[in-house]
Amino acid sequence: MGAYTSLYLVVLFLAARNVRGKLLRGAICTAMNEFILSRNCIKKIGCIRVMMDALSAPKRMQPKRGRRLTLNEVVELVHAVPL
C-alpha cells in the first residue's frame, strides 16, 4: 500500500467520524490502532480540513448558461425599458 493510498484511507476514516468539524471521541485512538500510525501523525492528517471537505464535496459542475441574445433582441429589451 502506497503512502498516498494510506493517507487517503486515513482521511476517509476520519471524515466518517467527523461531525460538524469535530472528531468523535476515540476516533484518533481507533485510527492509531487501525492504521498503525502515531497519534501526532493522525492529528496532523485530521487538521487538514481542506482534504476532508474536498473528498466529501460534490464534483464541480459548470453553471447553466442561457443562450446568447442577438443584437436585435438586446435592442428590443432596451427599448422596452420605460424612461
Query: Residues 6-36: pLDDT tens digits?
Result: 788 888 888 888 887 788 899 889 999 998 8
Domain count, the chain: 1
In a domain, 22, yes or no: yes
Domain that holds residue 12: 3-56
Provide the whole-model pTM: 0.53
**Contact predicate 30/16, CB 8 Å:** no
3-class SS at 21? coil
Cα(47)–Cα(41) distance, rounded to whole angstroms?
10
Report residue 18 as a C-alpha cell.
467527523
Cα(82)–Cα(26) distance, rounded to whole angstroms?
66
Cα(71)–Cα(17) distance, rounded to whole angstroms?
55
In a domain, 11, yes or no: yes
Please give the mean pLDDT across all residues of the chain.
80
In a domain, 39, yes or no: yes
In a domain, 71, yes or no: no
- What is the arithmetic mean of pLDDT over 24-52? 82
